[in-house]
A and B are shown apart, each in its own frame.
Chain A
């Protein structure tokens, strides 16, 4: 199992006194065998390596492996990589939340009464209901509510293979479902996912922990902050609350919730007005030199100036020639042109002979900053002292600066604006695309190419792999030839993906439309009070315009007139996670569903409201991989060392058997094939064979993946399941060429530091945006209408109504999402129940004591929760950390019952350069941060129902 075991006699060192009790402790720390394990990717780069120690066939305990190599001389190694969740993982394997047998509901959905059924019975019924749905309504009414990699590739891959690829079902885009899409990054760079660097930790001289709580959420990685601080990096924490991540900062400044754009923009102003601007970087990398028409606010386009000119080519003003200069599209380099970076208005002649005044976007920006974002003006908005803003700006301008941003800001209504303002700050100071600078993001891991190859193979074995690779190489050569005219390989690759998406050929759909048409969100999103007051039209009008214009062609599935019928959760927990979800979904979505299936190793709230709960093997019970960040150039392995508990099965086995059952039941009803809405034919008569290619055992499948990945050149030759089992990991030979790795624009290779965006900053490779530059000025008509052509500050809308408290929340410390939240051991490391953190003075004013249950309410709904008092949260702020399973709250009502689950209307925009959907990228995603709530003492004792029904107005 483990790499090397050396036999060593138990007793060696001299022990003068060895009472029997000491001997008992020695016996306790024994085991029969050791295997490699890893759990999840969610803290990025994740995939902490563990060893599990087995005794009598069970996992006795696990321990960090500490096997990370030291990669760079000046950066400490990453060991041990782990956390309390990882250290207690095996307790969930044997905990009471574990599901070990197939369960079918008896009685009403959600009643909590079950019967144990055989796999055969369960899969037969599920297959029948799926076939009914396909025959009567089409395969696109089968929904996989796609969730992150908590179950690893072993959960996602077979699910997608059967439900989406073979049957033609629909997967809700994982990045919208988890709300980890960074819209501001996307608007600026044309991609959200240039991943956080690695190896530059000691080069960062200023670290802004901004919209991130790494003390909670980056437990395996936080040490790098502390180490760099000891070696000269200044750490500044910016947040409303003086919370856990402020305690090890050099400076902490309190920022009012959702006002960070004002802070960033005032810093930008200081940099410009104090002449600290990195002009070279701004001219080359950004759109700020491009000329904007004063009359329309639109960029001056080639089509304005020349008859037949492109409307996707733009101009700067060449100060040397005193003439218009067409901005190059295939490179960022200006050559001999020196673009004006000023505020001067110049008149230029248009194709029709008329003249129009133009000004560099930089001038528009500077005018706005001087008008609206002086340090004093920003201070009045965000609460940070004006002199502090200036001094912080000077530091950013003069030091390699990294913004440590989590997955928090993308869950603010105006998170896009705040991110755009932060990126502007980094752009003005030249702080990305170089080691030690930049801003956090994540990207899907890639490199396990054997998984993709399996999908293209018609039989197993290496000969077939070689055939598939040859075909792939030919296709690649054709694609490369076709891309020769493209502005970059990255852009060609995105174009290909967008085209496939528009043809309806990608299984993933942006779920905003699913929620809007089928899940009852249309009413909420049309609530004017909960939206930005700058919206000039109704929400519906914007959605209709977007749909009618064809901006979302190919992905409006299931169609508005085809309600969903079958819902699969595989390691997901929609009733917890969906913003504004549980009650709303039970009311609007659940009645439409003929079948809800939860495949999981633990009982979730969604499982409790499912028709079937099917037991999946847990992390230690199946061979598995977790591929997280593109920056992690390693494939890490988790072994199936323990026998699956009860009748639980790996997801491979579950979907393999389901494929067989669908084939069998289809035959019985004489149903051989069908055509989906985009004309693809799906055959059922040999479904099992096409699902498995004859592979049955999960070990054989994994062995095939690894060998094929090596055959494709992503791993060194000779890698197999056996070598993974021995070493626990394998190094990728290169970054790879998937669209998401091309998005990295990195020249990183194994063993070298990883910097994303570096091909832009060092080689002049264009960005995949409309202007081919990091784009801060967006002249889409909706953006102009909203006044968001440039990053600006806008107040948080009053989501939920006009109530005095702002609920900011964020990820908790004790669980990865809800995965570990019911681990009994970890429940003892806090109060064992959900809580609402509230400022001590606010509570005192309402005569609320620590631990007392209060009512949290707004126009959406309400929930009851005990409070925890803290002097560290800002007055007027409350925090209910995410991750509690709804069944941990009284009446199963929690924060999701006061969140409207709003999306920002502007994110339905399309038909403009890079504002277009491709999987995990541009799309509306729901927000939950900084909603408004009231908090009231529950008047009539501890029965939990007191106080409801009282006038809310009286309690505001």
Chain B
């Protein structure tokens, strides 16, 4: 299913669009992407710049309530081409940003009476609170991992919703950014974003989200989440490059699908949907006729194309099982690491980028 194109008054279409594909059949939920992102952009060592709780990239176990909690029920995006302002996630829905009583435990003279734990109110949610919980019942329980970041949408609802004109979509690569000097922290963007991947900076009274590592892209280096992914599953590149894996996975093979396309924002992060082992019948034998993860659930995430995508994956895997070659399997295998990154294959250690050079 192709989502109904939104007719928006928002961002001008970009001439080219940088996109990503995450192959969920390789994702192991390790959070290296999340940490790689956080180390560069939201580390906030002294807890002064308001980014400490923010995880622009995060991986959640699906099904689950996710991050922020219950984001899939908060709305936003477009309905019949009309901008929808959904719910605004609260600070508690994100959780995280915990401090710990290291000093008390190590040096406080309390023996074993104090143990290391978050200080203050006991946490009730965080970036990965429902890790590995999933759904269903043993032995036919199921779950998979879903990394999420800003989708840098073709029709970014956040840009249209922004009342101050702070948000923009870069014309030459489609990255959605915000002029933080113009942002007044009114959070219309966060309400409009159906993916709820926009964070409020309580210290600076502005909104913030993933910047697609544009300072890296500008130097020919892949985004941190993609380059550090040990699972080798994040493709980066221009969506319109017919030779690039992203175009082939999205348009040629149609095995990479957008998340919640029904919101009409045209997300530019795509996912190869998850396969799963067949469920076991009452005797403990595998029942190949059934899907462990309900197809209806996958359709609710990735749209109606999901069955066809899974069928294509299975058919191509059957080829390699039979000793034949498969172009799709070669594409997803990724024989050379740098094949993931399109034109962004530069090794950052070879660049000298001093702050002085920036001034």
Contacts and interface: CB of A to CB of B under 8 A. Distances in A.
Nearest to A243: B132
The 7 A-B residue pairs whose C-beta atoms are closest, nearest first, are A21-B180, A385-B284, A96-B102, A19-B179, A79-B337, A232-B320, A871-B141
Contact of B141 (A112, A242, A868): A242
Interface string A840-874: 11000000001100000000000000001111111
Interface SS, A side:
loop
A603 B104 CA distance: 12
Interface stretch (A538-546, A681-689, A831-839): A831-839
B163 interface: no
A82 B230 contact: yes
Interface string B279-311: 010011110000000000000000000000000
Contacts of B138: 241-242, 254, 839, 871-875
Contacts of B350: 2-6
A738 interface: no
A20 B183 CA distance: 12
Contacts of B36: 63, 87
Contacts of A813: 29-30
Interface stretch (B74-82, B153-161, B238-246, B270-278): B270-278
A244 to B, nearest CB: 6
Contact of B329 (A29, A230, A244, A388): A230
Given A27-B355, A28-B40, A28-B41, A87 B109 contact: no
B229 A80 contact: yes
A956 interface: no
Interface in A46-100: 51, 53, 55, 61-66, 70, 76-77, 79-84, 86-88, 90-91, 94-97
A63 B143 contact: no
A297 interface: no
Interface residues of B, number: 118
Interface string A298-309: 000000000000
Contacts of A17: 168, 170, 179
Nearest to A221: B230
Contact of B277 (A246, A822, A872): A246
Contacts of B317: 229-230, 232
Contacts of B209: none
A581 B162 CA distance: 58
A244 B29 contact: yes
Interface stretch (B83-91, B114-122, B190-198): B114-122
Given A19-B179, A247-B276, A890-B115, A220 B230 contact: yes
Contacts of B127: 828-829
Interface stretch (A7-15, A123-131, A333-341, A645-653): A7-15
A644 to B, nearest CB: 19
A880 B14 CA distance: 50
B70 interface: no
Given A7-B352, A27-B355, A112-B111, A80 B132 contact: no
Given A25-B41, A112-B105, A80 B224 contact: no
A822 B102 contact: yes
Interface SS, B side:
loop
Given A14-B172, A17-B179, A890-B115, 20 more contacts: A3-B349, A26-B215, A29-B216, A81-B230, A84-B30, A87-B36, A88-B35, A90-B39, A232-B317, A232-B321, A237-B277, A242-B142, A825-B39, A829-B34, A830-B128, A870-B132, A870-B133, A870-B134, A887-B115, A892-B112
Contacts of B69: none
B277 A251 contact: yes
Interface string B336-359: 110000000001111111110111
B354 A31 contact: yes
A108 B110 CA distance: 11
Given A19-B179, A246-B277, A813-B30, A827 B98 contact: yes
Contacts of B118: 832-833
A9 B276 CA distance: 48
Contacts of B145: 247
B320 A32 contact: no
A411 to B, nearest CB: 21
Nearest to A828: B96
A813 to B, nearest CB: 7
A76 B352 contact: no
Contact of B98 (A387, A832, A840): A832
B115 A253 contact: no
A234 interface: yes
Interface residues of A, number: 132
Contact of B353 (A31, A112, A220): A31
Contacts of A227: 232, 333-334
Interface string B304-337: 0000000000000100111100000100111111
A253 B109 contact: no
A825 B41 CA distance: 13
9 contacts: A5-B351, A22-B214, A76-B333, A76-B337, A79-B337, A111-B111, A215-B29, A875-B138, A891-B112
Contacts of A871: 133-138, 141
A310 interface: no
A112 B38 contact: no
B228 interface: yes
A226 B145 CA distance: 15
A608 interface: yes
A516 interface: no
Nearest to B129: A831
Contacts of B359: 27
Given A871-B137, A888-B116, A10 B358 contact: yes
B147 interface: no
